A and B are shown apart, each in its own frame.
Chain A
Amino acid sequence: MVPTQYYLILSAILFGLGAVAFVFKRNIITIFMSIELMLNAVNLAFVAFSQAFGKVHGQVFVLFVIVVAAAEAAVGLGIIILIQRNRQSLNVEKVNLLKL
């Protein structure tokens, strides 16, 4: 059987790659997707711990994380559409003012 540690290491690698994408990417949509990648990595760790301890709490938490991610995606993409409409660009370097 697969040791829990393997899942945790995979989760750490995915989180690290998500953080790299978050910092290195310049397109605001891709940055948003890297946040989703990090959330997924955390979900993997939740499920792995849930199985390792034989308790179902971790899986319930994953459901809450997914709901929050869905809400975040809806609002975030609305903001991205607004930025594109006001600045004609998706580059984050051009979004340097809070005022739209």
Chain B
Amino acid sequence: MTPVLLIFFVLAGLAVLGAVSLVLQKHPIHSALSLIVVMVCLAGLYLLMGAEFVAAVQIIVYGGAIMVLFIFVIMLLNAGEEERTDFSKIAKFAGLPLALALTAAIAAAVVKPDQSLHPVTEPVIAKATEQISTMLFKEFVYPFELTSFLILVAIIGALVLAQREKK
């Protein structure tokens, strides 16, 4: 087993453990912390694949901004442990098998045995960050501008939603 493969399995195992913990934890803040573990592990996997820019953005935006927003809201609302309510009978017995079937179906669809994908080696794409920036500002410049508009709309929407009604 090569060191790279070993690092992959450690990070992948941690990510899956974090995701399982997200499902099993009762308190939302524990779920949020598990999700942070998953995101950091995914950033490590991006680094392993040689996508440094995406790894950095993953840490800064997901681990930094979005999760802080989540934890801020959990603390602001003082969210306690979640109340269990009764599942329907179908959900109780068919829920987990159906979830497994979904995972298997996705995995089977994306992993075809005769695929001509060559294994991920580190620098398949030389100077990935440079290429990303060039593509972002040339080929994808209109979608890029649209995302800035989307962010603006989201900011206004969040402000309108969160303000208190004046009487």
Q: Chain A: residues with CB nearer than 8 A to chain B?
A: 1-21, 23-27, 29-30, 32-34, 36-37, 40, 43-45, 47-48, 50-57, 59-60, 62-64, 66-75, 77-82, 84, 90-91, 93
Contacts and interface: CB of A to CB of B under 8 A. Distances in A.
Contacts of A75: 154, 157-158, 161
By DSSP majority rule, is chain B's interface helix, strand, loop, or mixed?
Answer: helix
10 tightest CB-CB pairs across the interface, nearest first?
Answer: A16-B103, A78-B161, A71-B154, A27-B82, A12-B107, A17-B19, A12-B106, A52-B117, A78-B158, A8-B110
Contacts of B54: 43, 47, 59, 62-63
A34 to B, nearest CB: 7
* Interface SS majority for chain A: helix
Nearest to A79: B161
Contacts of A80: 73, 77
Contacts, number: 237
Contacts of B85: 26, 91, 93
